[in-house]
Structure 1
Amino acid sequence: MDLFSADIDIRTNLLPYDGEVNYYGPILNLNQANFYLDAFLSTIAWKNDEAIIFGKHFITKRKAAWYGDENYAYTYSNTTKQALIWTPQLLELKALVEQHSNHQFNSCLLNLYHDGNEGMAWHSDDEKSLGQNTTIASLSLGAERKFAFKHKISKYTTAVILQAGSLLVMKGATQTNWLHALPKTTKVKQPRINLTFRTISY
């Protein structure tokens, strides 16, 4: 099931039960989205992402960066990142995302996918530091990619096509009950940057 339509209603919950996901469509026009894409490709402190799975250390082709209000520590996949302080351009997008989502964030995890050969396997953003029923706002720049959801118990799946400059917000019990993924595809040759705005709590 695809949930992409030219007529976007942000009040529509893209999940049928046990969570809440709203797709806002583009909140940046294409020129704006391309401007930030080019800027972040050259100014963000990108590093290859790492994971420790079943005791084995993996380094991904995908790159990541972690920014925030303070030097927050964020642990996922058994590795820990220390946040860098916001850049002015990240603060611009943070303010825009907060305006649209009506939610405040104190940090942002950025992911750089060089092309469709890089993706993200099924997972939930359910780390303790994010708290329960956390809200995560995802802003996409660059290539359009499919973003999929799978219920942890029923295995029901659904997906949405994320446009350049678009905003998707996951909230409520989504991370408790659903997995999400960015499937790989040979059709996409261009890079994509995903900014996931989060609220770290201690």
Structure 2
Amino acid sequence: MPLLPTFTITYAPQRLSLPDADVYLLLRFIPEAEQASLWQRLQQEIAWRQEEIKLFGKTIPQPRLTAWYGDAGKSYTYSGLTWQPLPWIPVLTQLREKLLSTTGISFNSVLLNLYRTGQDSMGWHADDEPELGPSPIIASISLGQERSFHFRHRIQPDVKQKLILPSGSLLLMAGQTQHHWQHQVPKSAKPLEPRINLTFRVIR
């Protein structure tokens, strides 16, 4: 498995200028003409759930809907939750195959997030759980409302970068990115339409 993406499509991704990181942004991964139908299928066919997590000693509902799909036995634990994978469904299998042909990486699981409004969010974190291996590779696909996505360096928290993830884009984080950087999707006071985010992963 390659440590860095081997994009085989004709238009090249942008490599972000983050120190201690390998991060790539591909704006047109999902063609605009396919986005509406893909959005509808994901909204209707995914088994969305709202889980509860512990934060500062309190149990609260996650500020978004989530789902976990993957190969049999590829469980995943984060924020005190352990997910057992639901079996692949055709729409997710198609996206996994598209990622394989685009990046050369064989992903075996995917965490989905549905941000219903601007008040749904994801706090600062790194995808560095042990089951993701020493150099996690995360492929993040965005559909629907574009949202702000923030990076901050874990040793130098004043070193930050913000970007907008538009519908149809692919953000790929590889190498030592998760060891040196955290990321978040902050809340927004603006009225926003829903966004679906799929983060494909390799569970060891």
The normalised TM-score by structure 2 is 0.89
How large is the RMSD of aligned CA atoms in angstroms?
1.5
Structure 1 match to 2:117? 115
Q: How many residues align?
A: 193
Deviation at 1:54? 4.3
Alignment partner for residue 85 of structure 2, among 83, 86, 105? 83
Partner of 1:36: 38
Which residue does the alignment assign to 1:174? 177
Q: Deviations over 1:102-144 (max 9, x none)?
A: 2110000000000111111110011001011111000011101
Structure 1 residues 187, 26: closer, same or farther in 2, change over 3 A? farther
2:73, 2:49 → 1: CA distance?
17
- The change in CA–CA distance for 1:26 and 1:50 in structure 2 (over 3 A counts) is farther
- Alignment identity in percent? 41
CA deviation map 1:80-116 (0-9, x unaligned): 1110011101001111122222211000000000011
Alpha-carbon separation, structure 2, partners of 1:169 and 1:194: 13
Q: Kindly provide the CA deviation profile for residues 5-40 of structure 1, in whole angstroms up to 9, marking residues without a partner as x.
A: xxx852x43143111100011211223111111111
2:96 to 89, 94, 112: 94
Cα distance in 2 for partners of 1:119, 1:31 equals: 27
TM superposition score normalised by structure 1: 0.90
Please name the residue that 1:5 is paired with.
none
* Secondary structure at the counterpart of residue 193 of structure 1: strand
- Output aligned runs, 1:126-165, within 5 Å: 126-155=128-157, 156-165=159-168
> Conserved in 1, the CA contact under 8 Å of 2:63 and 2:121?
no
Q: Does residue 190 of the first structure (1) align with residue 165 of the second (2)?
A: no
Cα deviation 1:14-70 (Å, max 9, x = unaligned): 143111100011211223111111111111000003322344322123010000021
Query: What CA distance in whole angstroms lies between the structure 2 residues aligned with 1:97 and 1:34?
Result: 19
Pair 1:21 & 2:23 matched = yes
CA contact (8 A) 2:63 2:122 kept: no
Where in structure 2 are there 5+ consecutive unaligned residues? 1-10
